[in-house]
Amino acid sequence: MKKTTILFLVLIFALLSLQNSYAAEPSDAITAYFQALKDGDVGKIKQYIAGDFYEKNKVLLENNPDYPEFLRNFYQGADLEIGKSVKSGDTVIIEMRTIFPNGSTGVNKLRLKESSDGDWKIVEEIFD
Predicted confidence (pLDDT) per residue in 67-89, tens digit: 999 999 999 999 999 999 999 88
pLDDT surpasses 70 at 62: yes
CATH match for 26-126 among 3.40.630.30, 3.40.190.10, 3.90.190.10, 3.10.450.50? 3.10.450.50
Neighbouring C-beta atoms of residue 24, cutoff 10 Å: 13
| Phi, psi angles (nearest 5°) of residue 48 | -110, 10
| Distances, alpha carbon 62 to alpha carbons 33, 42, 68, 73, in Å | 16, 8, 10, 19
The answer to whether residue 110 scores a pLDDT higher than 60 is yes
Q: Provide mean pLDDT across the span 13-41.
A: 77
- Give the Cα separation of 3 and 58 in Å (integer): 43
The whole-model pTM stands at 0.80
* For residues 53-64, average pLDDT: 96
Whether 98 has a pLDDT exceeding 50, the answer reads yes
The residue-averaged pLDDT of 29-45 equals: 97
pLDDT for position 2: 54
| Residue ranges covered by each domain of the chain | 26-126
User: Taking a C-beta distance cutoff of 8 angstroms, is the pair 90, 114 a contact?
Assistant: yes
CA separation (Å) from 24 to 9, 65, 71, 86, 92?
A: 24, 30, 25, 17, 13
Please report which confidence band the pLDDT of residue 117 belongs to, taking 50, 70 and 90 as the band edges.
Answer: confident
